Chains A and B, each alone.
Chain A
Amino acid sequence: MPNHREKTAAFYDVDGTLIKTNIVHSFAFYALRQPELLKSFLKITQTTLSIPLFVAADVISRKWFNEIFYKMYRGASEDRLVVLAEELFDKAIKPNLYARSKGLIEESRRSGCRQVLVTGALDFTVKPLARYLEVDDVIANRLEFVDGYANGKLTKPFIAGVTKSDVIRKYADENAIDLSQSYAYSDSYSDYPMLTVVGHPTAVNPDFRLRSVARAYHWPMINLN
């Protein structure tokens, strides 16, 4: 394998790229196992405006959507969330891993890249997956906890949209990674900024808008399903 690979990395979006599920599925899993989260969810969705609000937020800004969405975790116990994360992985995430996600990461590792997950999901929900995929690092959103309970806010920076490119740049600086020789993988147009900071972007199971961009810029498109 070539030496120039030593300082390269592969950055992966997770939801929709490596797995079929997303942060809503994770929340639903927790909500069904924690009565306080279910109450929080019901309280927020009591207003008829809430559903269009979520839809609009996701269309306008993934960052805004995450900010609103994670308020539903208010009052959740940190211990409980971490413990349930293992069950979440076994029952919801692992069965929904795309067939060749692990193979792609293994191939990338063989080529000498550091493996990094960059996701808007919560860190404790992604860690079991990261362990399973044997990736080197995880960059994910983190909930703020006060006295062991979530206050519904995320610690900054929120990992979504353009901030993914910022954190990738920062990670590259800190780890002496050559971004021009690095790789990024995502399924969503919302990750366009993340894809453009590396020399080798790839659209994975792309949505319509990302497919159009990938065609225009001659990026490879792969299907891991």
Chain B
Amino acid sequence: MRTTGSRYKEGSKEPIVTIDNDSAPRILFHGENFLLEDLPVGTRVIYPQQPIAGVANPVAAIRYALNHPEGMDPLHSMLEPGMKVTIAVDDISLPLPMMHRPDIREITLNIVCEMLADHGVDDVHIIIATSLHRRMTPKEIRRMVGDKVWNQYWPDQLYNHDACDPDNMIELGKTRHGELVETNLRAAESDLIIYSNINLVPMSGGHKSVAVGLCGYESLKAHHTPKSIVDSDSFMHPEKSALAHSVERIGRVCEENMKVFHIETVLNNRTFAGPLDFLMKNEDDFTEKDWLKFHSAKWALDKMPFAMRREIFMRTPAAYELIACYAGACDPAHKKTLDKSYKQYCVNVEGQADILISGITYISPYNVNSKALNPILVQVMALGYYYHMYRGRSLLKDGGVMIITHPCSDRFDSEHHPSYIEFFNRLLPETTDAYELEQKYQDEFAYNPSYIELYRHGHAYHGAHPFYMWYWGQRGREKIGEVIVVGADNKTVPEMLGWKCADTLTEAIAMGRSIMGASAQVSVLKHPPILITDVT
């Protein structure tokens, strides 16, 4: 085993490791497996912050937030017998991976439902705010809300939002920018909406909860456009995100028409525990036991068929803990949430990178319990999410090289992503231009009755969803000079995505240096756990 070669950035608590001659090799995610790579001397490896300690008593923290809300009266004081209340909760896209039981939504719902019952409020519906995501299965819902809520409310008073149900959607008006505001009818007709969310990254929560979670296609298409994505620098920085601005305008119209009490929960970044806890560490700090765990896991994963590897990862929950809960009016509660999120996720980094390396994992917000991270989702993880994990200034220079590690297999889940299959095989060979795709094909997919049927009654993402994923990557496509994939199991998928291939990371870095120069600054973003860079 090599000796420790890490050092901490001067004047900062954040672990920025510069690779030295004697540094340990680094572990990178490679889909449902890992790569162990020796990085060139001088490479900067950026690690996430250590997890902030969870609150000692989550129930007490949530109760305190409900009784001491920001900018609103305490929840109990707004409750009256006979009133109509709708509780909305985030769907399975958060947190990633799924957290251990009890899910934070279960804890929150138990408290809120008990409070409602104590005040004689019986007309209560709980809506999973799926927006245009797939419907959650009964098993997934039960795991998320817990047995008590499940037994009391499923299925008549606990169900998935249906953005394509014309009888249960209502238009509330338009924003001053002309964006249509459409929401769930039951929510709109309620005396009070209680939205319970999970904040994993700064783009979650706030006005997005109601404005997106309970909206329909006609409303979402106002801001899920290539233009709004390109104008968002970045999604993780709401003040500089055109997408966030549009969502905020829509959210304000919602709040003018509906009384919404927000419950925002902030989780720490303790993504891995137990047999995978070595992934929370800097490799230079690994003990013999950590290396043994890693090599054992890698040996087993190498031997397993693909489906088994996926199943194992999907069934390994994260060890997230509640670090804060704020409640009340949207803006003041969300401001506190953002401050706490930034404390957990932001890492100060000096200077941009010419070459950015990132391992792409098995999971995204859109493939929980799916059979694969399909090529469109690999694209969105690389260009949409990982590239944009910054505030203010991008970590990768404009025109820089992004190196990702993923097999990029031509695998799709036909149950969850049927329209992705047509998008990838029929549209991308014709054009990869997001603006052209939006103009020519988005509505065709969105109004395809088969995709609507699969969204409403199966477990498929909405027909337009692959378009949004492609737009999500548009800014990255415009800013990044070259994307190089390491470890792709085929050349077709990377070519269709406009990417180059390399067999090894060394080869990819050499390719990157041939573009950016021999002295190119090479950085590795070591996530998950999630991190956001503050580049000075």
Write the residues of chain A forming the contact surface with B, with a CB cutoff of 8 angstroms: 1-2, 4-5, 10, 100, 103-104, 107-108, 110-113, 181, 183, 185, 200, 202, 215, 218, 220-224
Contacts and interface: CB of A to CB of B under 8 A. Distances in A.
Nearest to A222: B453
A218 B444 contact: no
A2 B447 contact: yes
B447 A111 contact: yes
Interface string B137-170: 0000000000000000000000000001010000
B452 interface: yes
30 contacts: A1-B447, A2-B443, A2-B444, A2-B447, A4-B444, A100-B453, A103-B453, A104-B449, A104-B450, A104-B453, A107-B449, A107-B453, A108-B449, A110-B166, A111-B448, A111-B449, A113-B449, A183-B449, A200-B450, A215-B414, A218-B421, A218-B422, A218-B425, A220-B419, A220-B450, A220-B451, A221-B418, A222-B454, A222-B458, A223-B458
Contacts of B449: 10, 104, 107-108, 111, 113, 183
A111 B456 CA distance: 15
Contacts of B13: none
Nearest to A200: B448
Contacts of A1: 447
B281 interface: no
Given A2-B447, A113-B449, 14 more contacts: A4-B444, A107-B449, A107-B453, A108-B449, A110-B166, A111-B447, A200-B448, A218-B421, A218-B422, A218-B425, A220-B418, A220-B454, A221-B414, A222-B454
Most buried by A among B419, B450, B454: B450
Nearest to B412: A218
A110 B217 CA distance: 14
Nearest to A223: B458
B450 A218 contact: no
B411 interface: no
Interface string B436-477: 000000011001111111101110000000000000000000
Contacts of A215: 414
Interface in B156-198: 164, 166
Contacts of B447: 1-2, 5, 111-112
B426 interface: yes
Most buried by B among A10, A113, A202, A220: A220
Nearest to A1: B447
- Across the A-B interface, give the 5 residue pairs with the lowest CB-CB distance, nearest first: A108-B449, A202-B450, A111-B447, A220-B450, A107-B449
B452 A107 contact: yes
Contacts of A10: 449
A100 B457 contact: yes
B391 to A, nearest CB: 38
B123 to A, nearest CB: 27
B411 to A, nearest CB: 13
A113 B418 CA distance: 21
B447 to A, nearest CB: 4
B510 to A, nearest CB: 37
Contacts of A5: 447
Contact of A222 (B419, B443, B450): B450
Contacts of B448: 111, 183, 200, 220
B286 to A, nearest CB: 44
A183 B458 contact: no
Contacts of B425: 218
A218 B421 CA distance: 6
Contacts of A103: 453, 456-457
Given A107-B453, A220-B450, A181 B444 contact: yes
A220 B457 contact: no
Contacts of B457: 100, 103
Most buried by B among A104, A183, A222: A222
A159 B179 CA distance: 48
A107 B425 CA distance: 25
A10 to B, nearest CB: 7
Given A2-B443, A100-B457, A183 B426 contact: no
Most buried by A among B164, B419, B448: B448
A172 B502 CA distance: 50
A113 B447 CA distance: 11
Contacts of B421: 218
Nearest to A204: B450
B462 to A, nearest CB: 13
A215 B453 CA distance: 18
A224 B425 CA distance: 25
Most buried by B among A2, A111, A183, A218: A218
Contacts of A107: 164, 449, 452-453
Contacts of B458: 222-223
Contacts of A221: 414, 418
A198 to B, nearest CB: 12
A109 to B, nearest CB: 9
